Chain A
Amino acid sequence: MTSSNPEFEADCIRRILAGERQLFHDLIRPSERAIYFLLLSLLRNDAEAEDAAQDTAIKVYLNLKNFRGDSQFRTWVLSIARNEGLGRLRKAVTRKEDSLDAETDDQTGDYTPAVLTSWREIPSEALERQELGVMLRTAIEGLPEIYRNVVVLRDIEEMDVRETATALGISEGAVKVRLHRARALLQRELAPRLEGFAPKRKGLFGWLKP
């Protein structure tokens, strides 16, 4: 994940507002991934997430003079992305006469992990196998939305708690609770199925801890 560079951003914004609009491409580039995956998490449709990501980037450009610099640029961009996503969801909901606020932190759920007695590390090389990626993506897509959004920003885009909270418009406490529950749900869903991706046993004591 590209870490943000406030001086570069501030300088860029000044120059864009002064007329060097080409610089906007460089300003928005480090946030592209996070914009898209947050919108994909909200909208769950590739084509619509891409369209919404483009609209978000345009809105950011048009509203650039309103950026106050009291949060990171990317955080501000992501809150615009979130509003874009929620706006689109509201339209879809009106069509379907469904409710948007079904999911809250109060819901009681079972966040007991999958109980295992040992774990063999799945190395990241295992991701060369397509089906592992599919399994991980499917598990994340299957999370309730409020948990999915937090996983996308914290664990996929590796943003910190504070930035995630600001971008999603929730408290830092809520970020931590939701992340904890999301990881527990993912562990429960994935751990029993990941076993097949562990490396083959090389020697008798191959993976015993020292």
Chain B
Amino acid sequence: MRIDCKHVWEYISAYIDDEVDADLRAEIDRHLETCEICSAILDSTRNVVVLVADERVFELPAGFSERLHARLEKEMELAGPS
């Protein structure tokens, strides 16, 4: 079986998450060896996923945790035992 580019695109996310079976992975790998476009799409997608996961991209607002625990403390006191 030869798979085409569109087929590879459908599995890019599963491929990144290592959720494709061994046969399909081998097919995709073989395709990637000769297809610059799919390699670039895979690399860029993976790059985006890595960047998005970086803690610097999504930071809690300054003082979030302190305010949360202060409010919790107050409410727990009011409510008594859980």
A residues with a Cβ closer than 8 A to B are: 16-17, 19, 21, 24-25, 28-29, 32-33, 36-37, 46, 50, 53-54, 57-58, 61-62, 64-65, 112-119, 121-122, 124, 126-127, 132-133, 136-137, 140, 151, 155-156, 158, 176, 179-180, 183-184, 186-187, 190-191, 194
Contacts and interface: CB of A to CB of B under 8 A. Distances in A.
Contacts of B44: 113-114, 116, 119, 187, 190-191, 194
Given A121-B43, A127-B56, A183 B79 contact: no
Contact of A187 (B41, B58, B65, B67): B41
B75 interface: yes
Contacts, number: 140
A139 B81 CA distance: 43
Chain B facing A: main interface SS: helix
A155 B47 contact: no
Nearest to A37: B58
Given A117-B37, A183-B12, A54 B65 contact: no
Contacts of B64: 32, 36, 50, 53
A112 B13 CA distance: 13
B56 to A, nearest CB: 5
Nearest to B42: A119
B71 to A, nearest CB: 5
Interface of B: 9-10, 12-14, 16, 19, 36-37, 39-41, 43-45, 47-54, 56-58, 60-61, 64-65, 67-69, 71-73, 75-76, 79, 81-82
A46 B51 contact: no
Contact of A136 (B12, B39, B57, B72): B57
A189 B40 CA distance: 15
Contacts of B14: 176, 180
